[in-house]
Amino acid sequence: MDAVDILVRSLSKPVDIKGELMQYHPRSDRHSKIACWGIMFDLLQTSGLLRNHVESGKVVFGINHRMTDYVNHKHKDLDLVLCRPGTGPRPKRRPYTLDSLAQKYGVELTADEQARLMTLPVLTEAPVSSVLVALEAKACMTEHGKAGPRLYDELNSSHQIVHGSSNQALSVGFCMVNAATSFYSPTNRHNGSGANEHNQPRATEKAIESVSRLPRRSGTNSVGYDGFGIVVVDMLNDGETQVDLVTSAPAPQPGDIFHYDSMLHRVAHEYDAAFRSI
């Protein structure tokens, strides 16, 4: 699985966000777009059925696709979705491919990852007909206690809206939690507040406990995420220090349902089972 390594490598490189060079900003969706791109890349490598669907033109992807809960009429824009191609209006620009989207998002790939991407069938952007897989990624980087309830509510509303729009769609969630003891918040830079200090590992544990309570489903008759992964990183966010992946506890361990690899394999299996006849 490559998405987690791609995420920490890409976020280590500061970019212009809101007019400043930085690695993370809470009002930017850079981290979520890179995470969703990586999940899509891994799914293509894991599911032979998905590769066949892409190669035959049955499956494309949509960007910033709005899904609407049919019952409650609530809306949510999803960074990336895998979908059947629709007949709606196409953008005036050239449609993105997974490769060109990586360049747009600033995804940092190794030579090996780039080579493997080139061997995959070309996944192309197109108007969305029916959504097959909806991806949602969030982050909890600082003030974990305050962020927990908000994070839970935002992620909980996502699967509700996805399945309120299409009960057959797979709703996939991803959460990045920061285990660093200090964090430079972009919202504090201009008032000289310095770095936020975190009580670790308790802050990380609380954030993981919060999102771990999100409902999960094992079939279309229940409610919740079809797959949910939690990744822990160590990020100072000073614009210089490398972002590191945390693999020790409290990060989910291999075999845990929230470990990224477990989530990815589950979603690939669910895709193969749900959409083998499209």
| The pLDDT value given to residue 186 | 84
Report the pLDDT value the prediction gives residue 189, as an integer from 0 to 100: 63
Comparing CA positions, the residue from 197, 155, 158, 160 lying closest to residue 180 is 197
Provide the percentage of residues in the chain whose pLDDT is more than 90: 85
Question: What's the Cα-to-Cα distance from 151 to each of 13, 81, 97, 174, 190, rounded to whole Å?
Answer: 25, 21, 30, 11, 25
Bridge partners (DSSP) listed for residue 81 = 62, 134
* pLDDT at 190 exceeding the cut of 60: no
- Range of the structural domain that residue 21 is part of: 3-274
- Report how many domains make up the chain: 1
Separation of alpha carbons 39 and 43, rounded Å: 6
Neighbours of 149 (CB within 10 A): 10
Q: Mind listing the pLDDT tens digit for each residue in 194-246?
A: 899 999 999 999 999 999 999 999 988 889 999 999 999 999 999 999 999 99
- Note the pLDDT of residue 167: 94
112 pLDDT more than 90 = yes
Residues 158, 69: Cα–Cα separation, whole Å: 10
Instruction: Give residue 192's pLDDT band: very low, low, confident or very high (50, 70, 90).
Output: low
AA letter at 104: K
For the record, the structure tokens of 161 come out as 């809206």
The separation between CA 109 and the C-alpha centre of its own chain, rounded to angstroms, equals 17
- Which tens digit of pLDDT belongs to each residue from 32-91? 999 999 999 999 999 999 999 999 999 999 999 999 998 889 999 998 999 999 987 777
Helices vs strands, H then E, count in the chain:
8, 10
Backbone angles phi, psi at 133, to 5 degrees: -135, 125
pLDDT band at 191 (very low <50, low <70, confident <90, very high): low
Mean pLDDT, the chain, whole residue set: 94
Token duo for residue 180: 């660093």
Phi, psi of 12 (to 5 degrees): -70, -25
> What percent of the chain stands above pLDDT 70?
98
Pair 198, 183: CB distance under 8 Å: yes
Residues whose CB is less than 8 angstroms from the CB of residue 237 and which lie 6 or more positions away in sequence, other chains included: 22, 23, 24, 141, 180, 183, 184, 185, 186
The pLDDT value given to residue 208: 97
